[in-house]
Amino acid sequence: MLQAALGLGRLDAWIEQAANNPWGLLELQANPRATGEELTRRFDAAEAWRHAVGLDTQFETNVSPYLKRLLRGGVLELDELRELSLLVTVLCDLKVQAEGFSPPIRDPLESFSDYDALARVLVRSVGADGQLRDEASDVLGGLRRGLTQARRRLSESADEVVEDLDRQGILQDRFVTQRRDRQVVPVRAGMQSRM
- Mark whether 63 and 104 lie in a shared domain: yes
- Mark whether 100 and 162 lie in a shared domain: no
Q: Which residue has the higher pLDDT, 82 or 169?
A: 169
Judge contact between 100 and 117, C-beta under 8 A.
Answer: no
Q: Is residue 141 part of a domain?
A: no
Q: Is residue 111 part of a domain?
A: yes
Number of domains in the chain: 2
Percent over 70 (pLDDT), the chain: 55
Judge contact between 109 and 11, C-beta under 8 A.
Answer: yes
- Mark whether 36 and 100 lie in a shared domain: yes
- Mark whether 55 and 92 lie in a shared domain: yes
Q: Is residue 149 part of a domain?
A: no
- Mark whether 169 and 99 lie in a shared domain: no
Residue 97 buriedness (CB in 10 A; 0-12 / 13-18 / 19+):
middle
Q: Which helix (H) or strand (E) holds 157?
A: helix 138-167
Provide the residue range defining the domain that includes 182: 155-194
Whole-Å CA distances, 133 to 50, 73, 80, 115, 151: 19, 18, 15, 20, 19
- Mark whether 182 and 104 lie in a shared domain: no
- Mark whether 18 and 55 lie in a shared domain: yes
DSSP code at position 188: P
- Mark whether 21 and 76 lie in a shared domain: yes
Q: Is residue 101 part of a domain?
A: yes
Residue 107 DSSP SS3 = helix
- Mark whether 64 and 128 lie in a shared domain: yes
Q: Is residue 51 part of a domain?
A: yes
Q: What's the pTM value of the predicted model, to 2 decimals? A: 0.39
pLDDT value at residue 149: 92
Q: Is residue 12 part of a domain?
A: yes
Q: Which residue has the higher pLDDT, 14 or 176?
A: 176
Percent over 90 (pLDDT), the chain: 1
Q: Which helix (H) or strand (E) holds 178?
A: strand 177-179
Averaged pLDDT for residues 147-156: 88
Q: Is residue 76 part of a domain?
A: yes
- Mark whether 124 and 168 lie in a shared domain: no
Q: Which amino acid is at 131?
A: Q
Q: Is residue 142 part of a domain?
A: no
